[in-house]
Amino acid sequence: MSNYKIAVVPGDGIGQEIVPEGLKVIEAVAKKHNFTIETESFDWGAGYYLRNEKFLPDNGLETLKNFDAVYFGAVGLPGVDDTLPAKDYTFKVRTSFNQYVNYRPVRSYPGVPGPLRSEKEIDFVIVRENTEGEFVQVGGQYLPDSENGMGVDTSIFTRKGIERVAHYAFKLARTRRKKLTHITKSNTLINSLAYWDRVIKEVAEEYPDVEHDQMYIDNSTAMFVLKPEIFDVVLTTNLFGDILSDLGGAVMGSLGLGGSGNINPEKEFPSMFEPIHGSAPDIAGQNIANPYGQIWSAAIMLDHIGETEAANNIMQAIDKTTKQGVLTVDLGGNANTSEVADAVITNL
Ligand code: ATP
Ligand code: MG
């Protein structure tokens, strides 16, 4: 019987409510599919920062290396400078563990009213480059208080960084409907994103069986709303992927529905699985947060560590549960956080 070691980092706000619900689902599905999960919980995040002036201890990354995966909620609290968590927790884990793929699927949930007029089935995956680009935090604020003050951020896209995420995305497309759309803005970012386009086109030649097209970010945001059914695999940069995945969440019906994985495809380091939304302090502590995205992240995690049947089982149970109308407030329902997880477990 396989045993997996999972590091659990609930983080802040609703992370502390939805992560335990996700864990209940993981434990139930493990029992059904004959494997065991050993978990250890870490109280890192913005709350930890207020007590220790850092988001995780100095040996935090070393500690995480001993696990098969990290199951993460969200980091952030009002009153903690929101430029810090990205720099000190999320970005640190993503870059140190070479989690260069941010895998963010978008799909219609049965029984969930989406905001779009079209009833067409939506099923695509955003592959967001997760370690470089616009998020490298190279730059500075110069003479910020003076009349001539300026703020500068530099985007860095490397051949290696673009190629590795592109290979992942093309291979993923091969397992799906064999269509890849890559999204940039090379008509105005004529150095960085034109280079991105060039490298993607070179990689595309190795995948002649995958239909490949290119779209600009402005047009693609409109297409996400008007014709989301045309997408299969969407490959894009760190910043555009961040924005598009919130739009993807909205297109599904709520930010609370999106699951994701920060993936190191070579498995040299653990990957980290988290919902696409943040810690939502405005609704924390009320047991009303939508846990579907956190539960979906559990399925993505189990698939990554090799328990694909268990992952599929979770997805079927989610579908059955939303179809039954077990919906949280953000979806127009009245089920609370734990009732959703309990219903998913019953439907496994
Ligand atoms: P981050 O910077 O970490 O991405 P954010 O500032 O973008 O965070 P979120 O925490 O994602 O903000 O919240 C945005 C809005 O979506 C809030 O109004 C929040 O209540 C709502 N929201 C987010 N997640 C959920 C959820 N799981 N269930 C219900 N509502 C949610
Ligand atoms: Mg956000």
**With a 6 A CB cut-off, is 252 part of the ligand 1 pocket?**
no
pLDDT at 18: 98
pLDDT at 86: 66
Atom of ligand 1 nearest to the CA of 279: 10
Atom of ligand 1 nearest to the CA of 76: 3
**pLDDT-derived band at 263, boundaries 50, 70, 90:** very high
CA-to-CA distance for 82 and 75, rounded, in angstroms? 9
CB atoms within 10 A of CB 294: 34
Atom of ligand 1 nearest to the CA of 329: 29
Q: pLDDT for 74-130, tens place per residue?
A: 999 998 987 776 668 888 899 999 999 999 999 999 999 889 987 889 999 999 999
For residue 206, the CA-to-ligand 1 centroid distance in Å is: 39
**With a 6 A CB cut-off, is 86 part of the ligand 1 pocket?**
no
Lowest-confidence region among 78-82, 224-228, 237-241: 78-82
User: Which candidate, 193, 176, 70, 207, places its Cα nearest to that of 129?
Assistant: 193
E strands, the chain, in order = 3-11, 36-41, 69-74, 101-107, 123-129, 133-142, 150-156, 179-184, 211-216, 233-236, 259-263, 271-275
Instruction: Return all residues near 205 (Cβ < 8 A) that are at least 6 apart.
Output: none
pLDDT at 38: 98
Per-residue DSSP letter, 115: S
**With a 6 A CB cut-off, is 283 part of the ligand 1 pocket?**
yes
**With a 6 A CB cut-off, is 256 part of the ligand 1 pocket?**
yes
pLDDT at 279: 96
Specify whether the CB–CB gap between 270 and 7 falls below 8 A: yes
Lowest-confidence region among 87-91, 113-117, 322-326, 338-342: 87-91
In the predicted model, what is the mean pLDDT of residues 242-254? 94
pLDDT at 117: 83
- Which ligand places an atom closest to the C-alpha of 84? 1
**With a 6 A CB cut-off, is 327 part of the ligand 1 pocket?**
no
- Which ligand places an atom closest to the C-alpha of 289? 1
DSSP assignment string, 282-300 = GGTTSS-S--HHHHHHHHH
CA-to-CA distance for 185 and 187, rounded, in angstroms? 5
Where are the domain boundaries for CATH 3.40.718.10 in the chain? Answer: 1-100+282-348, 115-252
Alpha carbon nearest to ligand 1 atom 12, residue: 278
pLDDT at 94: 93
Alpha carbon nearest to ligand 1 atom 26, residue: 256
- Which ligand places an atom closest to the C-alpha of 46? 1
Per-residue DSSP letter, 277: S
- In CATH terms, the fold of domain 1-100+282-348 is Isopropylmalate Dehydrogenase (3.40.718)
**With a 6 A CB cut-off, is 288 part of the ligand 1 pocket?**
no
Predicted complex ipTM exceeds 0.90: yes
Q: pLDDT for 19-77, tens place per residue?
A: 999 999 999 999 999 999 999 999 999 999 999 999 999 999 999 999 999 999 999 99
**With a 6 A CB cut-off, is 127 part of the ligand 1 pocket?**
no
Q: What would the two tokens of residue 160 be?
A: 């290696």
- Which ligand places an atom closest to the C-alpha of 277? 1
- In CATH terms, the fold of domain 115-252 is Isopropylmalate Dehydrogenase (3.40.718)
For residue 258, the CA-to-ligand 1 centroid distance in Å is: 11
pLDDT at 87: 67
pLDDT at 81: 87
CA-to-CA distance for 261 and 305, rounded, in angstroms? 12
pLDDT at 112: 94
CA-to-CA distance for 79 and 343, rounded, in angstroms? 35
- Calculate the alpha carbon distances from 198 to 25, 205, 217 in Å: 43, 11, 17
SS3 241: helix
In the predicted model, what is the mean pLDDT of residues 301-322? 98
pLDDT > 90 fraction of the chain, expressed in percent and rounded: 93
In the predicted model, what is the mean pLDDT of residues 4-21? 98
In the predicted model, what is the mean pLDDT of residues 248-272? 96
For residue 207, the CA-to-ligand 2 centroid distance in Å is: 33
Buried/exposed code over 272-286 (b: 16+ C-beta within 10 A; e: otherwise): bbbbbbbbbbebbee
CA dihedral angle for residue 89, residue 79, residue 76, residue 139, rounded to 10 degrees: -50
pLDDT at 88: 80
Q: pLDDT for 158-190, tens place per residue?
A: 999 999 999 999 999 999 999 999 999 999 999
Mean residue pLDDT across the chain: 96
Q: Which amino acid is at 310?
A: A
In the predicted model, what is the mean pLDDT of residues 249-273? 96
**With a 6 A CB cut-off, is 83 part of the ligand 1 pocket?**
no
- Residue to mutate, 81, 88, 277, 340, ligand 1, most ligand atoms under 8 Å from C-beta: 277
Alpha carbon nearest to ligand 1 atom 2, residue: 278
**pLDDT-derived band at 1, boundaries 50, 70, 90:** confident
